[in-house]
């Protein structure tokens, strides 16, 4: 249940537009609601400022739909990550207004307008074109959480002049998310240029010794640039959530 909906519910009770009993019926599932496949945390928007996100990987289309239906009943916006295309058609039959981003495997459904509440811009900096799926997951997540978001794609260290040509954007950002595979050097470079928090996202893109993202992860953890924090491999969502909290 989002904050605006709860305020309207209480105002309607105050103005006697709805009965106390009707309001109680709405509120009784506020903390959480159990269904066959999940226990849905309806209280999270009030507690943390955003509804829970559905992790699509490992769930059937039917399970995702069951969770979405309950979230929509509470007037929440819906964000599904790691959702394969073959599940989308079943979901679209029930919710035709969904938007699916095949590159990042992210699905969104808006049940109320997104209010821009962040203090400044979150800038997503992507080392290579192959890293864009992870970067796009971060961008969409940050936008769904009410942030103004900008991005720089394909500005990795193999051609550092590409990054330096965008120095104004780097310096104007409130928070930066830097996504990189291969050796993962880009977050350290960015961290040495700006006085803002840098959230580094290692990706699994690279040849054998990349070890599925372990190599850039270790590079980022050992960064000598101050102000660089690191999330898990390919975790654009997690980076965006932390960036959104910083940007409040």
Res 11: pLDDT: 85
pLDDT tens, residue order, the chain (248 aa): 566 777 777 888 888 888 887 777 766 666 767 778 887 777 777 777 778 899 999 999 999 999 999 888 888 899 999 999 999 999 999 999 999 999 999 999 998 889 898 899 999 999 999 999 999 999 999 999 999 999 999 999 999 999 999 999 999 999 999 999 999 999 999 999 999 999 999 999 999 999 999 999 999 999 999 999 999 999 999 999 999 999 99
Residue 14 and residue 22 in contact, taking contact as beta carbons nearer than 8 Å:
no
β pairing state of 121-126 and 148-152: parallel
CA pair distance 171, 163, nearest whole angstrom: 12
DSSP state of 113: P
Quote the pTM value: 0.85
Structural domains of the chain ordered from first start: 28-109 (no CATH), 121-246 (3.40.50.1970)
DSSP states along 131-161: GHHHHHHHHHHHHHTT-EEEEE-S--GGGHH
124 by Cβ neighbours in 10 Å (0-12 / 13-18 / 19+) ranks as buried
- Euclidean distance between CA atoms 67 and 38, whole angstroms: 7
Q: Can you give the pLDDT at residue 130?
A: 96
Helix, strand, or coil (residue 244): helix
Q: What pLDDT is attached to residue 28?
A: 61
pLDDT value of position 169: 95
């Amino acid at each position: 249940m989002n904050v605006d909906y709860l305020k309207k519910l209480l105002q309607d009770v105050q103005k006697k537009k709805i009965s106390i009993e009707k309001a109680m019926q709405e509120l009784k599932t506020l903390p959480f609601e159990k269904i066959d496949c999940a226990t849905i945390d309806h209280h999270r928007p009030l507690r943390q400022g955003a509804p829970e996100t559905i992790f699509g990987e490992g769930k059937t289309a039917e399970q995702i739909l069951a969770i979405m239906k309950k979230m929509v009943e509470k007037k929440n916006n819906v964000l599904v990550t790691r959702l394969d295309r073959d599940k989308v058609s079943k979901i679209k039959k029930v919710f035709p207004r969904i938007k699916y981003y095949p590159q990042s495997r992210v699905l969104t459904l808006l049940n109320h307008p997104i209010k821009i509440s962040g203090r400044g811009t979150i800038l997503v900096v992507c080392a290579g074109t192959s890293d864009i799926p992870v970067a796009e997951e971060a961008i969409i997540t940050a936008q769904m959480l009410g942030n103004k978001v900008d991005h720089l794609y394909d500005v990795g260290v193999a051609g550092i002049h590409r990054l330096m040509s965008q120095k104004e954007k780097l310096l104007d950002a409130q928070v930066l998310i830097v996504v990189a595979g291969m050796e993962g050097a880009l977050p350290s470079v960015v961290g040495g240029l700006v006085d803002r928090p840098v959230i580094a996202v290692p990706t699994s893109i690279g040849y054998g010794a990349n070890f599925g993202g372990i190599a850039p992860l270790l590079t980022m953890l050992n960064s000598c640039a101050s102000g660089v924090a690191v999330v898990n491999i390919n975790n654009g969502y997690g980076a965006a959530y932390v960036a959104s909290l910083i940007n409040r």
